[in-house]
Amino acid sequence: MKTAIMGFGNPVRSDDAIGIYVIEELRKSIDDTDAVSLFDMGTAAFEVLFGLKGHDKIILVDAVINTNEPIGTLFKVPAEEVLRAPQEDPMVFLHGMKWDQALSYAKKIMGDAYPEDITVYLIAIDNTKLEVDLSPTVKEAGDKVVHHILEELKTLKVS
């Protein structure tokens, strides 16, 4: 089984960079191999379409704002739970197009080749100031995601 792990975020918007942080931390423990691909997606969500090709399992990591949950709260959900149809609204938080919209396009374009096993880790944030440091609480949540992903890869025997 080939697994792609994609981290999203804006590296100069403080806690919004948590997906990128997770990818950087995973690179310390695993290398891109035939079984695992690590993608620092930054804010280029539409490129998800190209990153998905040839993978059976996808893991996405991103920040989520306005959850009414404490900062650092970790959500793990199947992608189908958070997919939404592409919208005409050009104003979508800090990303030009969110990954959930890109996944909707991917599902339509790829048809039967669209991976069924897609999991999304979302970490609650509220700090998106023009800063390059993560808050300690969000960084701790990112470390938990790294741990969860490494454990999952062990069960797949790809790490």
Handedness of CA 10, 11, 15, 21 (dihedral sign): positive
Question: What pLDDT, on a 0 to 100 scale, did the predictor assign at position 25?
Answer: 97
CA 10 – CA 62 distance, rounded (Å): 10
pLDDT of 86 higher than 80: no
Average pLDDT score over residue span 34-38: 87
pLDDT of 92 higher than 50: no
Instruction: Classify 136 in phi/psi space as left (phi over 0), alpha (psi -120 to 50) or beta.
Output: alpha
Better-predicted residue by pLDDT, 148 or 117: 148
Alpha carbon 90 to its chain centroid, in Å, reads: 21
Average pLDDT over the chain reads 82
Question: What pLDDT, on a 0 to 100 scale, did the predictor assign at position 70?
Answer: 92
Total count of domains within the chain:
1
* Phi, psi values for residue 140, rounded to 5°: -60, -40
Average pLDDT score over residue span 114-138: 91
Question: How does pLDDT run across 2-19, given as a tens digit for each residue?
Answer: 898 989 888 999 999 999
Which CATH number does the domain housing residue 69 bear? 3.40.50.1450
pLDDT of 50 higher than 60: yes
Question: What pLDDT, on a 0 to 100 scale, did the predictor assign at position 151?
Answer: 94
Tokens found for residue 153 = 């890869």
- Residue that is written with structure tokens 């920040």 in the block: 63
Q: Which domain holds residue 113?
A: 3-156
CA 33 – CA 1 distance, rounded (Å): 12
Question: What pLDDT, on a 0 to 100 scale, did the predictor assign at position 87?
Answer: 47
CA 100 – CA 46 distance, rounded (Å): 9
pLDDT of 95 higher than 60: no
Better-predicted residue by pLDDT, 48 or 29: 29
